Structure 1
Amino acid sequence: MRITHEADYAIRVAFCLAECGGKLGAKEISERTGVTLRFALKILRKLIQAEMVRSYKGANGGYELAKEPAEISMGAIIECIDGPITINHCLCNEFECTRVQSKSICNFRKVFGSVNTMIRDELYRVTLDQFLH
């Protein structure tokens, strides 16, 4: 499993908003995070759809977190951008294994599933507020 650049940048964007504690314009978010404006806007749209960020239009518009930093985890941000966290393709529902008759009896899948759960749980334990101060 590799976290994409987009998910990495989304974490930076969300942290930037947490650190600010209020509204910021897209241009300022872009400048503070080092993410291009175009890419920052794409990320912000996804974070808005996931109800992690709110947007405001007009002269006093901008973006702010829709939740407290303690309520936004790295895992939620990553899955918002990259989809479900999976360390191996055999854990995906649409995967058809050709080695065993049933995925439920595969020992490799059991190990991958266990490790995947540990990683996912840990990423969901880490919240934005842990990086503040």
Structure 2
Amino acid sequence: MLRVSRLTDYATVVMTCIAAHPTEVLSAVQIADETRLELPTVSKLLKALGHAALVESFRGVNGGYRLARSADDISLVEIVEAIEGPIGMTECSMAEGQCDREAQCGVRGSWQLVNNVLDNALRAVSLADMLKPQLPRPSRRTVAVAVSSIAMPAKSRRVTTE
């Protein structure tokens, strides 16, 4: 199964909590209370998000955290990379020279394509989008994906998602 870590999931929860209060500076305790996450976890995430310049911190009696930029200007990929590091489905999809089999590999280009699609999808979702209520999704649906839209030969596939 391919998924982001629990910390990355929690980082999006923390960021949406802060984004929901755009004019306020929230303490780590307030964020932990509102998100129902443990304070040490919230503190750890805020440190990483601060290092990534996604949140600003303020010291003192009225200290706390707020977004470093507008929620519209922060993409989901930035939050994921702040916790996980650079996105790469495989070692070779990020940079050359990471695998001894590169020269004879027949799927490297395909993995790079998949990596680019994932990266673009995460860049297309802003933190502000994460705040918007989502319509309930059916438990199973069939989606037609125009493969040409992801830079492959012009044909369509049917993809079933759950």
Where structure 2 has 5 or more consecutive residues not aligned to the other structure, the ranges are 133-162
The equivalent of 2:98 in structure 1 is 95
CA RMSD in angstroms comes to 1.6
The equivalent of 1:19 in structure 2 is 20
The equivalent of 1:2 in structure 2 is 3
| AA of the residue aligned to 1:16 | C
| AA of the residue aligned to 2:119 | R
The equivalent of 1:85 in structure 2 is 87
The equivalent of 1:41 in structure 2 is 43
Aligned-pair CA distance for 1:31: 1.4
- Separation of aligned partners in 1, 2:45 and 2:124: 22
TM norm structure 1: 0.88
The equivalent of 1:66 in structure 2 is 68
- Separation of aligned partners in 2, 1:24 and 1:129: 18
Larger Rg over CA atoms: 2
- Separation of aligned partners in 1, 2:5 and 2:46: 16
- Separation of aligned partners in 2, 1:89 and 1:48: 27
The 8 Å contact of residues 48 and 83 in structure 2, kept in 1 or not, is answered as yes
* Higher relative contact order (Cα pairs below 8 Å, separated by 6+ residues): 1
For residues 101-116 of structure 1, what are the structure 2 equivalents within 5 Å? 102=103, 106-116=105-115
Where structure 1 has 5 or more consecutive residues not aligned to the other structure, the ranges are none
| AA of the residue aligned to 2:106 | N
**Number of matched pairs:** 129
State the secondary structure of the residue aligned to 1:55.
strand
The 8 Å contact of residues 16 and 32 in structure 1, kept in 2 or not, is answered as yes
Paired-residue identity, %: 33
- Separation of aligned partners in 2, 1:108 and 1:50: 33
Aligned-pair CA distance for 1:67: 0.3
Aligned-pair CA distance for 1:73: 0.9
State the secondary structure of the residue aligned to 2:20.
helix
Instruction: Give a deviation string over 1:27-76, Cα, whole Å, max 9, x none.
Output: 11111112211011111011111111001111111100010001111111
State the secondary structure of the residue aligned to 2:120.
helix
- Separation of aligned partners in 1, 2:76 and 2:34: 19
